[in-house]
Protein backbone atom coordinates (compact mmCIF):
# COMPACT_ATOMS: atom_id res chain seq x y z
CA UNK A 1 0.00 0.00 0.00
CA UNK A 2 1.42 3.36 -1.05
CA UNK A 3 1.71 6.14 1.48
CA UNK A 4 1.31 9.86 0.99
CA UNK A 5 2.17 13.05 2.82
CA UNK A 6 -1.29 13.22 4.40
CA UNK A 7 -0.48 9.96 6.21
CA UNK A 8 2.29 11.78 8.05
CA UNK A 9 0.45 15.11 8.42
CA UNK A 10 3.32 17.03 6.85
CA UNK A 11 3.24 20.12 4.63
CA UNK A 12 3.93 19.95 0.89
CA UNK A 13 7.03 22.10 1.29
CA UNK A 14 8.53 19.96 4.03
CA UNK A 15 7.62 16.75 2.23
CA UNK A 16 9.49 17.94 -0.85
CA UNK A 17 12.42 19.02 1.32
CA UNK A 18 12.78 15.45 2.61
CA UNK A 19 12.65 14.02 -0.90
CA UNK A 20 15.25 16.53 -2.08
CA UNK A 21 17.50 15.72 0.87
CA UNK A 22 17.21 12.02 0.13
CA UNK A 23 17.99 12.63 -3.52
CA UNK A 24 21.10 14.57 -2.55
CA UNK A 25 22.25 11.80 -0.24
CA UNK A 26 21.64 9.13 -2.89
CA UNK A 27 23.50 11.02 -5.59
CA UNK A 28 26.14 12.64 -3.44
CA UNK A 29 28.70 10.01 -4.33
CA UNK A 30 28.52 11.04 -7.98
CA UNK A 31 30.27 14.31 -7.18
CA UNK A 32 33.25 12.49 -5.74
CA UNK A 33 33.15 9.85 -8.46
CA UNK A 34 33.83 12.70 -10.83
CA UNK A 35 37.41 12.44 -9.59
CA UNK A 36 37.62 9.16 -11.46
CA UNK A 37 37.47 11.04 -14.75
CA UNK A 38 40.69 12.85 -13.89
CA UNK A 39 43.70 10.81 -14.87
CA UNK A 40 42.10 7.37 -14.81
CA UNK A 41 40.39 5.17 -12.23
CA UNK A 42 41.30 6.27 -8.72
CA UNK A 43 40.25 3.04 -7.07
CA UNK A 44 43.23 1.32 -8.65
CA UNK A 45 45.52 4.08 -7.41
CA UNK A 46 44.10 3.94 -3.89
CA UNK A 47 44.66 0.18 -3.72
CA UNK A 48 48.27 0.76 -4.67
CA UNK A 49 48.96 3.30 -1.89
CA UNK A 50 51.73 1.80 0.29
CA UNK A 51 50.70 0.83 3.81
CA UNK A 52 53.02 3.46 5.27
CA UNK A 53 51.33 6.17 3.23
CA UNK A 54 47.85 4.88 4.14
CA UNK A 55 48.79 5.23 7.80
CA UNK A 56 50.11 8.72 7.11
CA UNK A 57 46.83 9.73 5.48
CA UNK A 58 44.85 8.41 8.46
CA UNK A 59 47.10 10.33 10.83
CA UNK A 60 46.79 13.66 9.03
CA UNK A 61 43.01 13.24 8.78
CA UNK A 62 42.79 12.62 12.54
CA UNK A 63 45.13 15.53 13.25
CA UNK A 64 43.10 17.81 10.97
CA UNK A 65 39.78 16.92 12.62
CA UNK A 66 41.20 17.34 16.13
CA UNK A 67 42.49 20.79 15.13
CA UNK A 68 39.02 21.70 13.87
CA UNK A 69 37.40 20.76 17.18
CA UNK A 70 39.99 22.65 19.19
CA UNK A 71 39.85 25.74 16.98
CA UNK A 72 36.06 25.94 17.00
CA UNK A 73 35.80 25.48 20.76
CA UNK A 74 38.37 28.23 21.35
CA UNK A 75 36.31 30.53 19.15
CA UNK A 76 33.15 29.59 21.03
CA UNK A 77 34.76 30.19 24.43
CA UNK A 78 36.03 33.63 23.40
CA UNK A 79 32.59 34.56 22.10
CA UNK A 80 33.88 35.50 18.67
CA UNK A 81 31.43 35.79 15.82
CA UNK A 82 31.84 33.28 13.03
CA UNK A 83 32.19 34.99 9.67
CA UNK A 84 29.56 34.06 7.15
CA UNK A 85 30.71 34.13 3.53
CA UNK A 86 28.42 32.46 1.01
CA UNK A 87 28.84 28.92 -0.27
CA UNK A 88 30.36 30.43 -3.43
CA UNK A 89 32.95 32.28 -1.36
CA UNK A 90 34.00 29.09 0.37
CA UNK A 91 34.15 27.26 -2.96
CA UNK A 92 36.48 29.98 -4.26
CA UNK A 93 38.72 29.72 -1.17
CA UNK A 94 38.95 25.93 -1.27
CA UNK A 95 39.47 25.90 -5.04
CA UNK A 96 42.33 28.37 -4.60
CA UNK A 97 44.03 26.19 -1.98
CA UNK A 98 43.76 23.21 -4.32
CA UNK A 99 45.25 25.19 -7.18
CA UNK A 100 48.19 26.25 -5.03
CA UNK A 101 48.69 22.71 -3.77
CA UNK A 102 48.56 21.31 -7.31
CA UNK A 103 51.08 23.86 -8.55
CA UNK A 104 53.63 23.69 -5.73
CA UNK A 105 53.21 19.97 -5.18
CA UNK A 106 54.05 19.26 -8.82
CA UNK A 107 56.96 21.70 -9.01
CA UNK A 108 58.72 21.36 -5.64
CA UNK A 109 58.83 17.60 -5.22
CA UNK A 110 57.43 17.79 -1.67
CA UNK A 111 53.89 16.82 -2.53
CA UNK A 112 53.06 15.06 0.74
CA UNK A 113 54.01 18.05 2.91
CA UNK A 114 52.10 20.41 0.65
CA UNK A 115 49.09 18.09 0.65
CA UNK A 116 48.98 17.92 4.46
CA UNK A 117 49.05 21.71 4.77
CA UNK A 118 46.47 22.19 2.05
CA UNK A 119 44.14 19.56 3.53
CA UNK A 120 44.20 21.29 6.91
CA UNK A 121 43.36 24.66 5.34
CA UNK A 122 40.70 23.44 2.93
CA UNK A 123 39.04 21.28 5.62
CA UNK A 124 38.86 24.34 7.89
CA UNK A 125 37.07 26.29 5.14
CA UNK A 126 34.75 23.35 4.47
CA UNK A 127 33.89 23.13 8.18
CA UNK A 128 33.04 26.84 8.28
CA UNK A 129 30.81 26.37 5.24
CA UNK A 130 29.11 23.42 6.96
CA UNK A 131 28.54 25.60 10.03
CA UNK A 132 26.96 28.33 7.90
CA UNK A 133 24.60 25.79 6.37
CA UNK A 134 23.76 24.46 9.85
CA UNK A 135 22.98 27.97 11.06
CA UNK A 136 20.77 28.61 8.03
CA UNK A 137 18.69 25.57 9.06
CA UNK A 138 18.15 26.90 12.59
CA UNK A 139 21.09 25.30 14.42
CA UNK A 140 22.97 27.09 17.19
CA UNK A 141 26.60 26.67 16.12
CA UNK A 142 27.80 27.75 19.57
CA UNK A 143 26.55 24.54 21.17
CA UNK A 144 28.75 21.45 21.42
CA UNK A 145 25.94 19.25 20.09
CA UNK A 146 25.77 21.25 16.85
CA UNK A 147 29.55 21.28 16.55
CA UNK A 148 29.51 17.49 16.70
CA UNK A 149 26.70 17.39 14.12
CA UNK A 150 28.83 19.59 11.84
CA UNK A 151 31.82 17.33 12.29
CA UNK A 152 29.60 14.35 11.51
CA UNK A 153 29.08 15.67 7.97
CA UNK A 154 32.60 14.50 7.12
CA UNK A 155 31.45 10.92 7.80
CA UNK A 156 28.33 11.13 5.61
CA UNK A 157 28.55 9.91 2.05
CA UNK A 158 31.90 8.27 2.66
CA UNK A 159 30.63 4.95 1.35
CA UNK A 160 32.88 2.15 0.21
CA UNK A 161 32.32 -0.16 -2.74
CA UNK A 162 30.50 -2.56 -0.38
CA UNK A 163 27.96 0.07 0.70
CA UNK A 164 25.14 -0.76 -1.69
CA UNK A 165 22.11 0.52 0.25
CA UNK A 166 22.72 4.24 -0.21
CA UNK A 167 19.11 5.25 0.48
CA UNK A 168 19.36 4.07 4.09
CA UNK A 169 23.07 4.63 4.75
CA UNK A 170 22.41 8.15 6.08
CA UNK A 171 20.33 7.04 9.07
CA UNK A 172 22.45 3.92 9.49
CA UNK A 173 25.56 6.08 9.84
CA UNK A 174 23.83 8.39 12.31
CA UNK A 175 22.68 5.43 14.40
CA UNK A 176 26.17 3.93 14.50
CA UNK A 177 27.67 7.25 15.61
CA UNK A 178 24.91 8.39 17.99
CA UNK A 179 26.27 6.99 21.27
CA UNK A 180 29.87 7.90 20.46
CA UNK A 181 29.02 11.50 19.58
CA UNK A 182 26.94 11.89 22.73
CA UNK A 183 29.89 10.65 24.76
CA UNK A 184 32.22 13.13 23.05
CA UNK A 185 29.80 16.01 23.64
CA UNK A 186 29.46 15.13 27.32
CA UNK A 187 33.23 14.88 27.70
CA UNK A 188 33.81 18.31 26.11
CA UNK A 189 31.05 19.85 28.23
CA UNK A 190 32.73 18.55 31.38
CA UNK A 191 36.40 19.05 30.53
CA UNK A 192 36.44 21.82 27.92
CA UNK A 193 39.74 22.72 26.27
CA UNK A 194 41.71 21.25 29.15
CA UNK A 195 40.38 17.83 28.28
CA UNK A 196 41.13 18.36 24.62
CA UNK A 197 44.81 18.95 25.35
CA UNK A 198 45.17 15.22 26.03
CA UNK A 199 42.98 14.03 23.17
CA UNK A 200 45.85 12.67 21.07
CA UNK A 201 47.44 10.61 23.82
CA UNK A 202 44.43 9.08 25.54
CA UNK A 203 43.12 6.17 23.51
CA UNK A 204 40.06 5.79 25.75
CA UNK A 205 39.13 9.46 25.35
CA UNK A 206 35.56 9.62 23.92
CA UNK A 207 36.62 12.38 21.53
CA UNK A 208 39.30 10.07 20.12
CA UNK A 209 36.59 7.46 19.49
CA UNK A 210 34.27 9.98 17.82
CA UNK A 211 36.96 11.45 15.61
CA UNK A 212 38.19 7.96 14.78
CA UNK A 213 34.75 6.96 13.50
CA UNK A 214 34.46 10.10 11.42
CA UNK A 215 38.04 9.92 10.16
CA UNK A 216 37.63 6.31 9.01
CA UNK A 217 35.04 7.45 6.47
CA UNK A 218 36.50 10.88 5.69
CA UNK A 219 39.82 9.21 4.86
CA UNK A 220 38.11 7.47 1.92
CA UNK A 221 37.49 10.81 0.20
CA UNK A 222 40.86 12.16 1.29
CA UNK A 223 42.58 9.14 -0.27
CA UNK A 224 40.79 9.77 -3.56
CA UNK A 225 41.84 13.40 -3.41
CA UNK A 226 45.44 12.47 -2.58
CA UNK A 227 45.76 10.01 -5.44
CA UNK A 228 44.20 12.43 -7.94
CA UNK A 229 46.42 15.33 -6.91
CA UNK A 230 49.53 13.15 -7.00
CA UNK A 231 49.08 12.49 -10.70
CA UNK A 232 51.68 14.45 -12.74
CA UNK A 233 49.08 15.66 -15.24
CA UNK A 234 46.96 17.38 -12.60
CA UNK A 235 48.86 20.56 -11.91
CA UNK A 236 47.32 23.76 -10.54
CA UNK A 237 44.13 23.72 -12.63
CA UNK A 238 43.40 20.10 -11.76
CA UNK A 239 44.09 20.66 -8.07
CA UNK A 240 41.56 23.48 -8.03
CA UNK A 241 38.97 21.36 -9.84
CA UNK A 242 39.41 18.50 -7.38
CA UNK A 243 38.94 20.83 -4.42
CA UNK A 244 35.86 22.38 -6.02
CA UNK A 245 34.28 18.93 -6.28
CA UNK A 246 35.45 18.17 -2.73
CA UNK A 247 33.72 21.14 -1.08
CA UNK A 248 30.66 20.86 -3.34
CA UNK A 249 30.28 17.27 -2.12
CA UNK A 250 30.27 18.25 1.55
CA UNK A 251 28.10 21.34 1.09
CA UNK A 252 25.40 19.15 -0.47
CA UNK A 253 25.67 16.62 2.35
CA UNK A 254 25.50 19.40 4.96
CA UNK A 255 22.40 20.92 3.36
CA UNK A 256 20.62 17.57 3.33
CA UNK A 257 21.80 16.66 6.85
CA UNK A 258 20.69 19.87 8.51
CA UNK A 259 17.45 20.08 6.54
CA UNK A 260 16.52 16.68 7.95
CA UNK A 261 17.57 17.72 11.47
CA UNK A 262 15.42 20.86 11.20
CA UNK A 263 12.41 18.80 10.15
CA UNK A 264 13.07 16.28 12.93
CA UNK A 265 12.81 19.10 15.44
CA UNK A 266 9.47 20.04 13.88
CA UNK A 267 7.84 16.63 13.34
CA UNK A 268 9.94 14.20 15.37
CA UNK A 269 12.85 12.04 14.30
CA UNK A 270 10.85 8.86 13.71
CA UNK A 271 8.40 10.58 11.37
CA UNK A 272 11.14 12.07 9.21
CA UNK A 273 13.14 8.86 9.26
CA UNK A 274 10.10 6.86 8.12
CA UNK A 275 9.38 9.24 5.27
CA UNK A 276 13.03 9.28 4.25
CA UNK A 277 13.31 5.51 4.23
CA UNK A 278 10.14 4.97 2.20
CA UNK A 279 10.82 4.26 -1.45
CA UNK A 280 10.38 7.39 -3.57
CA UNK A 281 8.22 5.36 -5.90
CA UNK A 282 5.75 4.71 -3.07
CA UNK A 283 5.60 8.26 -1.76
CA UNK A 284 3.18 10.50 -3.62
Q: How far apart are CA 27 and CA 11, in angstroms?
A: 24
Sorting pLDDT into bands at 50, 70 and 90, what band is 67?
Answer: confident
Task: Annotate 208-239 with three-state secondary structure.
Answer: HHHHHHHHHHHHHHHHHHHHHHHCCCCHHHHH
194 Cβ contact list (under 8 Å, min separation 6) = none
SS3 label, residue 243: helix
List phi, psi (to 5°) of 11.
-70, 160
- Model-level pTM greater than 0.85? no
SS3 label, residue 192: helix
Nearest alpha-carbon partner for 82 in 150, 33, 23, 29: 150
Each residue's pLDDT tens digit, 107-125: 434 356 677 888 888 888 8
Each residue's pLDDT tens digit, 123-181: 888 898 899 899 999 999 888 889 899 999 998 864 444 444 433 478 888 988 988 88
Dihedral class, residue 205 (left if φ above 0, else alpha if ψ from -120 to 50, else beta): beta
More confident residue, 234 or 52: 52
39 Cβ contact list (under 8 Å, min separation 6) = 228, 231, 233, 234, 238
Half-sphere exposure of 158 (CA within 13 A, CB side): 21
Per-residue confidence (pLDDT) for residue 42, from 0 to 100: 45
**For residues 245-252, average pLDDT:** 86
Dihedral of CA atoms 159, 165, 166, 169 in degrees, nearest 10, equals -70
The per-type count for the chain, helices as H runs and strands as E runs, is: 11, 0
Sorting pLDDT into bands at 50, 70 and 90, what band is 3?
Answer: low
237 Cβ contact list (under 8 Å, min separation 6) = 99, 102
SS3 label, residue 282: coil
Given a contact cutoff of 8 angstroms between Cβ atoms, the answer to whether 166 and 47 are in contact is: no
Q: How far apart are CA 260 and CA 199, in angstroms?
A: 31
- List the domain boundaries for the chain: 51-277
Each residue's pLDDT tens digit, 78-110: 555 655 556 666 666 556 665 555 544 444 343
Amino acid sequence: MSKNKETYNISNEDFEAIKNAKSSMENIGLAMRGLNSIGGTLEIGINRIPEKQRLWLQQIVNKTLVALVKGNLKTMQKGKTFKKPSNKSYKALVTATGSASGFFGSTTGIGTAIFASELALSTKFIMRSIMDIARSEGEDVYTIETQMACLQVFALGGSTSSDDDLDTSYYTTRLVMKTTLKGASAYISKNGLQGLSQVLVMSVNPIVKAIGLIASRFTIQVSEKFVAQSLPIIGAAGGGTINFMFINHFQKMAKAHFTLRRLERKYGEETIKNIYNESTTNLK
